[in-house]
Amino acid sequence: MQKIEHIGIAVKKLSDSIPLFEALLHRSCYKVETVESEAVKTAFFGLGNNKLELLESTDPSGIIARYIERFGEGLHHIAFSVDDIEAEMQRLSAAGFHLLQEKPVKGADNKLVCFLHPKSSNGVLIELCMERVDKKVDG
């Protein structure tokens, strides 16, 4: 693990939360991106070496919608950047952590990602992410 890459925050509406975080952080959102496979629309803010990722569900039964139903809006996950995501997944799996994906999947902001179930990490949903180096294949 290298550093905290970003912190994910579940929100009901990006249209409300982007201006709120722009006012809070005093900077503009630099990217809004939909991740179809996760049924989320994301908005990113850069902050020093870190980022904030706001997540809005694009589907009423999607993971973020269900999360907000249960817990309300707020902190959703912490993402760590890693050099070699497959090696890190193997290491964590061998150490007893419960991975939610068997292989890395495409995440937002040009990353390959994998999530760890919060049950195996003190209630914190963890995302591993690695910069994608492949050429644009299918977005």
Among 17, 127, 128, 130, binds Zn ion (CB under 5 A): 127
Size of the site for Zn ion (CB under 5 A): 4
Is 89 in contact with 104 (CB distance < 8 Å)?
yes
Applying CB under 5 A, does 104 fall inside the site for Zn ion? no
Q: Which residues lie closer than 8 Å to 74 by C-beta, 6 or more apart?
A: 9, 10
CB of 75 to Zn ion, least distance (A): 11
Between the CA of residue 31 and those of 44, 68, 93, 126, what are the distances in Å? Answer: 5, 22, 32, 22
Binding mask 69-98 for Zn ion (x = CB under 5 A): ----------x-------------------
* Of 8 and 104, CB closest to Zn ion: 8
Which stretch, 16-24, 47-55, 88-96, 116-124, contacts Zn ion (CB under 5 A)?
A: 47-55
Applying CB under 5 A, does 10 fall inside the site for Zn ion? no
CB of 4 to Zn ion, least distance (A): 11
Residues contributing to the site for Zn ion (CB under 5 A)? 8, 53, 79, 127
